[in-house]
Structure 1
Amino acid sequence: MQLAFIKCHGSGNDFPLIDARGMALDDAQWAGIARALADRDGPVGGDGLLLLTEGSGAAAFGMRMFNSDGSEAETCLNGLRCTARLGFELLGIDHALVRLKTSVAEVAREAELAPGVTTVRTKVGPASIAAADVGLTTGDSFIDAPIPGLPDARAFTAVAMPNPHLVRFVDAVDEAELVALGNWCESGPALLPARANVSFVEQRGPADLYVRTFERGVGLTDSCGSAMAASVLAAGLTGRVAFGQEIRVFNKGGLVRGRADAERNVTISGNATFLYDASVEVNAAGAIAQPPLIHARREDEARAWEEAVSALA
């Protein structure tokens, strides 16, 4: 099948984005398309596949996100910004409610983070701290506390954004340790049968966080929007940053601005950058994609983001 898509990124988290409204494909087909298009060694590559879907009720449109392995995530906040931008442009609006897999989110255009950098604000929540909602099969909740059965005895904060996150604050990120724990969670152990995202977070100032994430279904990634949101919330829940205070959140892909409140709502503002418009032939059953035909490159947007990131270095 021939599919049109936009290659986009939020904080370096890159995706093919498809306007899937009115497309009658089943979950198995979308999973195969995700494996084909989000294969990092394939002709397109990405951290997952984003779908703009029909709205319902008060939601102007919806979003689905499939990971690189074909599994579907509850949300993806970096991807949500990009999907929201496409929805805004197609529907001629500047703010909306968005229907996600198991929840809804508020999205709105916002003043540019930097010149030429299209910026979108997302608000999700209230997030859950119930262990069962995070997918843990033990305990009631874990806030800056060890999780029995986890192969890491140090303190974690477990939150559902609604996708599951385990957040640990560290003096310095040890990527090998993060990958080892992420791989353990990825195996679907009895403690976490549905797996979880794992983040190590450095607090680099009163309101600056650096986040490194092993993303469920993806692996070690330069950026994960829901992990950044979970880290902002964890900073508030553990008293590291006051609720209501704006936080700058950095990762290898760039930065976002974030804020959490005492009701466990989290607001994230960041870029929604479109890189190019293309079409591609995909065999969904075989999860195989041909080289894409690129129709237009958004070089000004790519350059604006690169300049913004360079200014932070």
Structure 2
Amino acid sequence: MRIAFIKCHGSGNDFPLIDARDLTLSEPQWATLARLLADRAGPVGGDGLLALVPGDDIHAFGMRMWNSDGSEAETCLNGLRCTARLGFDVLGIDAAQVKLKTSSASAARESAIAPGVATIRTLVGPNATRAVDVGLVGAPEQVLDAAIEGLPNPRRFTAVAMPNPHLVTFVEAVDEAELVALGSWCERRPALLPARANVSFVEQRGPTSLFVRTFERGVGLTDSCGSAMAASVLSAALTGRVPFGTPITVFNRGGMVRGQAEQDRRVILSGNATFEATRAVDVDFATGTLGAVETLQDRDAERAAWDAMLAGLRETA
């Protein structure tokens, strides 16, 4: 089967993105496709697979997202921006309500965060803070800046569902080995977290500036995770580190976004939705293999605009 896709990224979180509105695949085939296309050792690579899917009476279109291990995620906010941009492009619109796996989000085009950088604003929530919604078994009703009994790490965490599960802790400096150790423990589906969780270590670098490093469920240590950045913005407000309604700049290894936690626990994220190239590949589901990748259209100007923005961020860091 010939599959066309856009190689895209949001804040460095990169994906193959498929217009799947007229594509019919079984659930096992989608999982296989995600593992093949998002394999870092393969010819495409990515942090997961995105699909633009049909909407309904409320939603102009929908998004599905699979992690690189083939598991489906409830949401992916960096991916949502990219998928929303494609939806806007093919439908000729500038804003929409987008259907996600278990929730809904608003998305709209926004003024560029840097010259030549396509920018999308998303609004998600209300988001949950009940431990049961985060998937914590046997925990108190809420975990807000508190140690979690049974977790093999003594730090104080805030647990939020975006709606995918997140554990967020604020640190003086990110220790990647510590983060990977805890994230790997969560990946083993312990009794405390049978559905696993995303884990983020967050440095507050100023009154309204955060740096986020995340071990992403089903992916591993990643340069960027949109829902983790949103969870970090919400956690900063919930713990009194940044007031609700205050714009925040959120940095990660992949770039940056603008964020804001609303009083009703919805979160606004504005960031890039960069299309790097349009490509196609032959997929053999019977053998689980990919053919050669063909580039149909390069988007050199978009890549150059993003690289220029990153260079500017490094100069001011």
Deviation, structure 1 residue 22: 2.0
2:298 maps to a residue whose letter is: R
Deviation, structure 1 residue 285: 4.5
Superposition map of 1:173-212 within 5 A: 173-212=174-213
2:36 corresponding residue in structure 1:
36
Partner Cα distance (1:90, 1:105) in 2: 19
- Superposed CA deviations along residues 138-164 of structure 1, whole A, max 9, x for unmatched, are 221100001110001110000000000
1:242 corresponding residue in structure 2:
243
Q: Secondary structure at the match of 1:200?
A: strand
2:115 corresponding residue in structure 1:
115
1:16 corresponding residue in structure 2:
16
- Superposed CA deviations along residues 250-282 of structure 1, whole A, max 9, x for unmatched, are 000000000001211000000000000011011
Partner Cα distance (2:23, 2:44) in 1: 21
Mean alpha-carbon deviation: is it higher for 22-31 or for 102-111? Answer: 22-31
Q: Secondary structure at the match of 1:213?
A: strand
Q: Secondary structure at the match of 2:307?
A: helix
1:63 maps to a residue whose letter is: M
Partner Cα distance (1:107, 1:208) in 2: 23
Deviation, structure 1 residue 92: 0.3
* Number of equivalenced pairs: 313
1:135 maps to a residue whose letter is: G
Gaps of 5+ in 1: none
TM-score by length of structure 2 reads: 0.98
2:96 maps to a residue whose letter is: A
- Superposed CA deviations along residues 125-145 of structure 1, whole A, max 9, x for unmatched, are 000001010010022110000
Gaps of 5+ in 2: none
Q: Is 2:281 the counterpart of 1:303?
A: no
Partner Cα distance (1:110, 1:303) in 2: 20
Partner Cα distance (1:285, 1:121) in 2: 40
TM-score by length of structure 1 reads: 0.99
Deviation, structure 1 residue 27: 1.1
Mean alpha-carbon deviation: is it higher for 72-81 or for 21-30? Answer: 21-30
Q: Secondary structure at the match of 1:56?
A: coil
2:92 maps to a residue whose letter is: G
- Superposed CA deviations along residues 224-250 of structure 1, whole A, max 9, x for unmatched, are 000000000000000000000000000
1:19 maps to a residue whose letter is: D
Which structure 1 residue ranges, 4+ long, deviate > 4 Å from structure 2? none
Aligned residues: percent identity? 66
Q: Does the CA-based 8 Å contact 1:29-1:285 persist in structure 2?
A: no
Q: Secondary structure at the match of 2:60?
A: strand
2:154 corresponding residue in structure 1:
153
- Superposed CA deviations along residues 153-210 of structure 1, whole A, max 9, x for unmatched, are 1100000000000000000000000000000000000000000000000000000000
1:167 maps to a residue whose letter is: V
